[in-house]
Amino acid sequence: MADWGANSGSTATIAITIDPITCSCSALAWTAPGSITTATVAINGSITPSIPNPTADTSATSSNAAFSSCYEGGNDCATTGAYASADIKYLDGNSGGAALSGYDWISFDGTTLTISPTATSVIGSHSLMGTFTPTYGTAAQFTVVTFTVECEVTSFTKPVNPTTGLTYNL
């Protein structure tokens, strides 16, 4: 039991201020796209594969009150963002990848990715990574497109059957 001594039976007013939690969408996280685009293109061909957006991860609502408050009353944080033209890079084995400007057969204008190989030296498998800059949360980097460049036979000329000088050895 507590002993209040001389203050027993007295009252005092205590001011308590309760501030509402302000929504903060900064805890929105991003995970790799559920599937990345795979494509095949022939030399002198052209493709425009789509670049998938990553998946929004809202699991922090269970541990972050400011983030959780964003989802109360039917509200939420925008799960939008974009890849800037400089954010798509060729995976050349170096950390961070290489700018597409070094590959004149690959271009991305911020909306459309175009792959148009013309040299047989690029036959093989290739990958591109992208840095997705979201409206909320931290930018995230993912492999977004894998593609194979193949040689394609477009025509051939059938040789003419010989008509003279034919011999048969039995």
Q: Please, what sign has the CA dihedral across residues 119, 117, 90, 99?
A: positive
- What's residue 81's pLDDT? 93
| Full-model pTM | 0.72
Mean local confidence (pLDDT), 70-88: 89
Domains parsed from the chain with CATH numbers: 32-55+79-150 (2.60.40.10)
- What's residue 70's pLDDT? 92
| pLDDT surpassing 70 at residue 26 | yes
**Across-strand partners of 133?**
82
At 44-72, the pLDDT tens digits run 999 999 999 899 999 999 999 999 999 98
Mean local confidence (pLDDT), 80-101: 88
Q: Mean pLDDT in the chain?
A: 88
Class of residue 127 by CB neighbours under 10 A (exposed 0-12, middle 13-18, buried 19+):
middle
d(Cα 108, Cα 101) in Å, to the nearest integer? 10
